[in-house]
């Protein structure tokens, strides 16, 4: 397979953890190569606009935000959350200019379970975003997360996604005393089912418990789902407790991808351990980042990459899901999940 650097469009992407955007503040972030302004009004509502003033292209985030409207720093044009221009200070009283002509592009955003999602539409797309397509962690209802870590990977989105669902790298990349030592590989047999825009590794008991899982206590079971454009949700449960981990990739540009991992849990005593745990979570994610950084050295030479048998089947499904997503869109029909129920075996 050779690489084509296209982004999926008409789909929700993870924008950022909601706690990073305080009321009355705005921030700049690039998504899929587009400069975006994200702001939270005083009433808590989040909105997103193209971060380029339609007058002379100064980034709107260079201006001011009063908790209601954004004001450009160059000539003071003002814009409200829908992107409508509300004021052009240089106009004289009886100027009959229709301000509606100077809209800035507005992006649909939603905040759920503490996460802000942004809908990246295709150019001239007629498709309406549906809130039902926003990935949700099970069990935790409206609750927000307890811990989050974001790292920027220096790669195209596909390599970050494949790292999320690649079972064979774990004993080599994530060697640590509290995780897996790498010396012994176990044979794994896992059943998979198709699920919305992706697939799910069927709920099973976790064999050969790594210390990270032992912390939960009891005999934990896990279910791991993946869905486009790059969201992995793991739900670990015991008789008494639940832990969810959502990991989402967000393409920043063709060569940069944010990977955010977020944890939800029900064990109150873990909350006290949070300051100790966070560096471990960061280290774990950084191990993925480091190997992907090394991979960039080889990718410069545009080699053909291989996907082999069961250990790489999830990666292959990812490419098939992406291709079907695009095909269904261009043919104007519903998405048909290419993944069929299947058992995969590998050693890791």
Minimum distance from CB of 263 to ligand FES (Å)?
41
Q: Does 56 bind ligand FES (CB under 6 A)?
A: yes
Which does residue 288 bind out of Fe ion, ligand FES, none, counting CB within 5 to 8 angstroms by kind? Fe ion
Which does residue 77 bind out of ligand FES, Fe ion, none, counting CB within 5 to 8 angstroms by kind? ligand FES
* Residue of minimal Cβ distance to Fe ion: 288
Minimum distance from CB of 314 to ligand FES (Å)?
46
Cβ-based nearer residue to Fe ion, 283 or 329 = 283
**Coil, strand or helix: which one is 16?**
strand
**Sheet bearing 242-253, strands edge to edge:** 147-153, 256-265, 242-253, 231-237, 221-227, 198-205, 187-195, 342-347
Cβ-based nearer residue to ligand FES, 86 or 296 = 86
- Report the chain's C-alpha Rg in angstroms: 22
Q: Does 160 bind Fe ion (CB under 5 A)?
A: no
Q: Does 74 bind ligand FES (CB under 6 A)?
A: yes
Q: Does 77 bind ligand FES (CB under 6 A)?
A: yes
Q: Does 75 bind ligand FES (CB under 6 A)?
A: yes
Cβ-based nearer residue to ligand FES, 77 or 156 = 77
Nearest to 81 by CA among 42, 116, 123: 42
Which listed range, 23-31, 69-77, 244-252, 323-331, lies at the site for ligand FES (CB under 6 A)? 69-77
Round to whole Å and give the CA distance between 262 and 144.
10
One of 111, 158, 288, 312 touching Fe ion (CB under 5 A)? 288
- Residue 86, Cβ density class (10 Å: 0-12 exposed, 13-18 middle, ≥19 buried): middle
Longest dimension (CA), the chain: 80
Q: Does 312 bind Fe ion (CB under 5 A)?
A: no
Cβ-based nearer residue to ligand FES, 52 or 116 = 52
Which listed range, 149-157, 257-265, 286-294, 320-328, lies at the site for Fe ion (CB under 5 A)? 286-294
Q: Beta-carbon neighbour count of residue 253 at 10 Å? A: 15
Which listed range, 79-87, 91-99, 283-291, 308-316, lies at the site for Fe ion (CB under 5 A)? 283-291
Cβ-based nearer residue to Fe ion, 71 or 288 = 288
Residues 6+ apart with CB under 8 A from 207: 186
Residues 6+ apart with CB under 8 A from 11: 119, 120, 133, 228, 229, 325
H or E segment to which residue 222 belongs: strand 221-227
- Rule CB under 6 A: which residues touch ligand FES? 53, 55-56, 58, 72, 74-75, 77
């Amino acid at each position: 397979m050779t690489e084509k650097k296209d982004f999926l469009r008409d789909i929700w992407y993870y924008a950022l953890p909601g706690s990073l955007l305080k009321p009355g503040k705005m921030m700049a972030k690039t998504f899929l190569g587009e400069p975006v302004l994200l702001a939270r009004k005083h009433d808590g509502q989040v909105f997103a606009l193209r971060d380029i003033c339609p007058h002379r292209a100064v980034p709107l985030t260079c201006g001011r935000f009063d908790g209601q409207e954004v004001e450009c720093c160059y000539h003071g044009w003002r814009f409200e959350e829908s992107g409508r221009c509300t004021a052009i200070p240089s106009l004289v009283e009886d100027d009959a200019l229709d301000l509606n002509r100077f809209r800035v592009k507005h992006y649909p955003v939603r905040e759920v379970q503490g996460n802000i999602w942004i809908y990246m539409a295709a150019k001239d797309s007629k498709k309406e975003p549906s809130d039902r397509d926003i990935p949700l962690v099970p069990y935790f209802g409206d609750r927000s997360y307890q811990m989050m870590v974001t790292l920027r990977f220096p790669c195209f989105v596909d390599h970050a996604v494949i790292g999320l669902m690649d079972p064979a790298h774990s004993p080599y990349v994530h060697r640590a005393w509290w995780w897996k030592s790498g010396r012994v590989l176990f044979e794994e047999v896992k059943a998979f089912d198709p699920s919305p825009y992706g697939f799910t590794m069927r709920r099973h008991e976790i064999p050969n418990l790594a210390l990270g899982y032992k912390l939960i206590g009891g005999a934990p079971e896990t279910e791991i789902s993946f869905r486009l454009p790059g969201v992995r949700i793991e739900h670990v449960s015991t008789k008494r407790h639940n832990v969810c981990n959502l990991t989402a990739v967000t393409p920043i540009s063709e060569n940069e991808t944010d990977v955010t991992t977020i944890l939800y849990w029900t064990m109150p005593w873990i909350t006290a351990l949070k300051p100790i745990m966070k560096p471990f979570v960061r280290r774990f994610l950084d191990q993925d980042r480091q190997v992907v950084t090394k991979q960039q050295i080889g990718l410069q030479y545009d080699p053909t990459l291989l996907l082999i048998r069961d250990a790489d089947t999830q990666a292959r499904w990812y490419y098939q899901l992406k291709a079907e997503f695009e095909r269904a869109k261009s043919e104007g029909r519903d998405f048909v999940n290419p993944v069929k129920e299947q058992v995969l075996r590998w050693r890791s």
